Structure 1
């Protein structure tokens, strides 16, 4: 990704004015928020202990340049996670090749992994997807670059989110199927996760030397017509129109980083996410809520210290009435989708982490408390979006049904 720059006014003019979903958006109860587990060792960075076999993060802390064995290892890790732990998810690869300024005429392979959890009663093209996105490739230079914040940690966060919410989705889909529900736009909600390849430039960021995977996928989906539904009303014309919200995670995992609200048309979604974070902090469920708590692998100070060091919030624009960053967008994997009218919530810090595009962007420089907390916040947001309170059973209050003298 590139540092902040002004998005073209022509792009802004073409964006439709989206409104929040008209379906019910039920906040998670306090008990549900308390039940969101900590990822714990799932985000271990160790590669020499038994936790490597279960860590979602450690296998990604390697160079993952497209066209190299590291890329193939990352692909195998992502694919095997779903096939082993989440067999109900549908997995597909969207493949492409391209030349790059660094490789001349040699075609480099790019592969996007698409993981989908559809309601079982829907047919192709009938599900609206909350779509969570991160890129899994790393830069060619400097040689050996890992990219822990960029974007191994975001990928691990999305894997953890899928694992936690899957059991609730399964229960909700089973109950709805038993009741004969579904078949309406508001009810046909699913979760889609995109692990995108080729985000990084091989030499220098340009329109053609960057976003290889996202450009290919967005273009293919824009040209792929969905089957016409048998119902009288028209649903989604192509896979792009099935995306209810495109949530892109990037550069997450540094202590103290702040993510502003970039898009006026999705500020309402930003506020919903920030509200989840705020409630988790109020309940003291986030490790970073305490200024003295940190399980970072590094104790080095942060050069880009936040304006208010006493405020641990990741999302500072909770109480803003509109996006604070306004037109100061950042070039990233959302651009090929937003150019085609897809609603986007961009979760990327501003300023970028101190380790951005340096050899220090490795596991040792991640703040693991921050990574774990982002995972909990994302689980809460997804739970509310998919209305998982429908299948949540509130625990009985202590002493309920008993009498005392």
Structure 2
């Protein structure tokens, strides 16, 4: 069954890839340079970043009070469990003071009409651009027992908990940066910030039966359609993108993370520089000893290249040439965004974890040190992307990318 689904999914993606190659779409984003706010985090602030919040509060699945433990339940589309989990997530962001948007809709499925809800949380909704982090919150539906108890620990409970941790940790820094920008009279021609952080929890990523263009990624497809609608309200001081979709600077999608020894590849040349920033975050955290207990400096450098050890690097460097064999072969919530020209970084373990879509994708498949390492990598990369250093000091960013990774303003 899994083999059949993989072949179906791969065939659909190959057709999609050929369609995209034949019909290049205009990119609705002006990204001639790295995000203007980008600033490498100062050394004193790195220690503060790691200590911003307790990783265990969100990620220790052995503690029933943790956020991840509350997500580790069967949570299929439309179920009471999913409603409860969505309530936990929404309550978390409301407590942090973020703007809450619920994208509720219904759609036809192989089991009739189903009700879906995407959850969208924005730190500063007045900012014209968004860096979007995303994952799907639903778990796969199975008809029979015991498969109907599938909790999708890597798929995608752990990634969702990582995003909750990210929001907890970075909210004070996001608040601080917003205040500094407002006190300085705004940036980039606006009264406030040019870019903010947005976190999206998709509903209905999983297929109910076999993965097809209609039985999959229900929430992502609906959100792209909704966000493509033009906003007719008056623009700000400078021209503001006229639709929510065009306000996305980059979308980062997390999936199948939380098991030890993941391998993450770059799939999109135009966002290769941002893929590299995740890799650089891992390197800096590892060398300074924040990533793995007992490993720092040269000890970390030697350990990260070994096979079969927890502390190995998560990322396959782009220079290795291992991207081409997988490019465009994985269908996920990012696909409708890519079709509309949104720059995407897809953080997904390839090959998939061995427990993928089996009842064994439960807490026993997870590795807490690995999950914590992911959380810190996300914290550092997002903090640098948005220039959140609380010292307020801007450092010269050493941008290493090819001209082919840049694209001009269009549309």
Fold conserved (TM > 0.5)? yes
User: Which sits farther off after the overlay, 213-222 or 32-41?
Assistant: 32-41
1:272-316 deviations in Å (ceiling 9; x for gaps): 11101111111111127859xxxxxxxxxxxxxx98336711112
Do 1:262 and 1:325's aligned partners in 2 also have CA atoms closer than 8 Å? no
Q: Report the Cα distance in structure 2 between the residues aligned to 1:383 and 1:318, rounded to whole angstroms.
A: 23
Within a 5 Å distance, the mapping from 1:123-272 to structure 2 comes to 126-141=127-142, 142-182=147-187, 184=189, 187-225=193-231, 227-231=233-237, 233-272=238-277
Compute the TM-score of the two structures, normalised by the length of structure 1. Answer: 0.83
Contact 1:19 1:265 in 2 (8 A): no
> What is the distance in 2 between the residues matched to 1:78 and 1:159?
8
| Structure-1 separation of matches of 2:43 and 2:319 | 21
Corresponding position of 1:77: 88
**Aligned counterparts of 2:293 and 2:24: Cα–Cα separation in 1:** 39
CA gap 1:226/1:40 in 2 versus in 1, 3 angstroms: farther
Distance 1:24 1:78, change over 3 A: closer
Q: State whether residues 173 and 389 of structure 2, in contact with CA within 8 Å, keep that contact through their aligned partners in structure 1.
A: no
Secondary structure at 1:360 match in 2: coil
Gap regions ≥5 residues in structure 2: 297-304, 395-411
Deviation at 1:22, TM superposition (A): 5.5
Say which of 51, 58, 76 aligns to 1:42.
58
Equivalent of residue 278 in structure 1, options 274, 283, 300 = 283
Q: What secondary structure sits across from 1:70 in the alignment?
A: helix
- 1:94 and 2:103 are equivalent in the alignment: yes
Contact 1:90 1:115 in 2 (8 A): yes
In the TM superposition, what whole-angstrom CA distance separates every residue of 1:84-116 from its partner, at most 9, and x where no partner exists? 2x02x1001001111211x23xx2110000000
- CA deviation after TM superposition for structure 1 residue 32, in Å: 2.1
What is the aligned counterpart of 1:112 among 98, 114, 118? 118
Give the alignment's Cα RMSD to 1 decimal: 2.6
**C-alpha distance 354-275 of structure 1, shift in aligned 2 (>3 A):** same
Which secondary structure state, in structure 1, belongs to the residue aligned with residue 329 of structure 2? strand
Q: Say whether 1:9 aligns with 2:9.
A: no
Give the Å deviation of 1:336.
Answer: 1.1
Tell me by how many angstroms 1:148 deviates. Answer: 0.5
Deviation at 1:34, TM superposition (A): 2.3
Maintained 8 Å contact 1:118/1:127: no
1:287-306 to structure 2, matched below 5 A, reads 287=292, 290=295
Aligned position for 1:52: 64
Describe the shift of the 1:118–1:212 C-alpha distance in structure 2 as closer, same or farther (beyond 3 A): same
Unaligned runs of 5+ in 1: 292-305, 395-405
Report the counterpart of residue 43 of structure 2 in structure 1.
Answer: 30
Q: How far apart, CA to CA, are the structure 2 residues paired with 1:342 and 1:328?
A: 15
Asked if the contact 1:275–1:318 (Cα under 8 Å) also holds between the matched residues in 2, the reply is no
- 1:26 deviates by 1.6
Retained in 2: the 8 A contact 1:146–1:361?
Answer: yes
The CA deviation at 1:187 is 4.2
> How many pairs does the alignment contain?
364
Within 2, Cα distance between the matches of 1:132 and 1:204?
Answer: 27
Q: Do the aligned partners of residues 33 and 319 (structure 1) sit closer, same or farther apart at CA in structure 2, a change above 3 Å counting?
A: farther
- 1:402 corresponds to: none
Deviation at 1:179, TM superposition (A): 2.4
Give the deviation of 1:70 after TM superposition: 1.2
